[in-house]
Chains A and B, each alone.
Chain A
Amino acid sequence: MSQDPYELLGVQRNATQREIQSAFRKAAKKLHPDLNPGDKEAEAKFKEISAAYELLSDEEKRHRFDRGEIDMTGAEQASRSFYRDYASASSPGDPYHNAGGFADFGDADDIFASFFSRRGSAGFGSAGRDRHFVMEIDFLDAITGTTTQVKLPDGPPLDIRIPPGTRDGQTLRLRGKGSSGYGSGPAGDALIDIKVRPHRFFIRDGDDIRLELPVTLAEAVLGGKVRVPTPSGPVNVALPPNSSSGKVLRLKGKGVPKRNGTAGDVYVTLKIVLPDQPDEQLTDFMRGWTPGSTQNPRRDMEV
């Protein structure tokens, strides 16, 4: 391959990464062999634009190409197989065969048509029905993930893996744990709606966790180390001196684990808490503290 990657993707030489990405996506939709199984040319063309995208989406490779140090050969893809090569072959036990496209062909008096609509479920029989369940789990279990055993109304207990970062309202699908199939059809699935119980002080906000952290007046004025709870255990945080109530600290990566291996953040909102009982020393100090009566924090409210 010695073509010009810019030409292959149809972009200008000074195209931004966004333009390159969108050009690739547009072309990939038309050319991905698995999405265009009838197009014989698709595979070769898709490999070309993939190689071009691979090169141009990597700024360093792109610069080296622009300077003439490398050509498209460097970006050639390792050989790969496409799904269409497998999915098009006629093999009876294919786990992904779906005869849904024929589902409305199966009139009772039309043997030929109903033959196709039944073929999907591995022989003559049809899949069992899905069964729905609701399960409540603890806030922290939903975040860190866990395995739990549930007893379904009938049948043996099931081990259910709660993946890290599970959201309230998410549905877990357990393949083949629904009602048994008819004839030789496969069993349906168990669908489990997850309800996450709220936490005493953590509040989930997407992949982030928010919490209000009470601090003493002394900690707020002087700053220093404070212990802060996070879903993965407490951490020491350096509080800057002169921190007001409402100040927000961000603990990066201490939030909800994401599927790509990173995690959201924890946002800590400070809340200054005065001593439980009025303190004479503090009261006396405040009386004698001049700036206390000159500062007006409500200035912006025009009162």
Chain B
Amino acid sequence: MDDREFCLHLKIEVAELDFWIEQGWLSPASLKGQRRFRDIDLARATLIFDLTRRMGVNEAGIDIVMDLVDQLYGMRRTMRDLISIINQEDAAVQQRLLAALDKLYDS
């Protein structure tokens, strides 16, 4: 969707959207020099909206929250990928990894 549709959806002014993008909180795709917002941008902007408008987080807070959110999801995704790959391994390999983990946490 374009700027107008996106702002209408979120009920924010374009100036505020510009600010979010300048801060690096959102990075929409661009198509022929125009900004294009994907579903992921809308969902992310809704989170930023919740934080700023309803939960009272200030500018500096958003910087920190979004950075940690990105790190958290990055790690979650990698962890999930790792687990799904382990799940495709032989039962013997899985058992061995599990045993190694057990040993790590027991000591």
Contacts and interface: CB of A to CB of B under 8 A. Distances in A.
Given A37-B76, A88-B73, A100-B71, A83 B24 contact: no
Interface string A36-64: 01100000000000100100000000000
A264 to B, nearest CB: 15
Contacts of A102: 74-75, 78
Contacts, number: 114
Nearest to B53: A260
Contacts of A100: 67, 70-71, 74
A116 B56 contact: no
Contacts of A89: 77
Contact of A90 (B22, B29, B72, B77): B77
Contact residues of B: prevailing secondary structure: helix
B2 interface: no
B51 to A, nearest CB: 8
Nearest to B42: A81
Contacts of B56: 21, 25
B55 interface: yes
Interface string B52-73: 0011100000000101011111
Given A28-B54, A259-B15, A101 B75 contact: yes
A96 B18 contact: no
Given A86-B40, A119-B78, A101 B50 contact: no
Among A80, A88, A90, A96, chain B packs the most CB atoms within 10 A around the CB of A96
A298 B30 CA distance: 67
Interface residues of B, number: 35
A267 interface: no
A231 interface: no
Given A25-B56, A83-B43, A83-B44, A88 B77 contact: yes
Interface in A124-174: 161, 163-164, 172-173
Contacts of A94: 40
A163 B71 CA distance: 29
A291 interface: no
Contacts of A261: 13, 15
A163 B19 contact: yes
B35 interface: no
A86 B43 contact: yes
B74 A37 contact: no
Given A81-B43, A86-B40, A88-B73, A24 B67 contact: no
Interface string A72-113: 000000001111111111100011111111100000000000
B35 to A, nearest CB: 12
A164 B80 CA distance: 43
A34 B47 contact: yes
B39 interface: yes
A63 to B, nearest CB: 21
Closest 6 CB pairs of A and B: A98-B70, A87-B73, A86-B40, A101-B75, A101-B71, A83-B43
Interface of B: 13, 15-16, 18-19, 22-24, 27, 29, 39-40, 42-44, 46-47, 50, 54-56, 65, 67, 69-78, 80-81
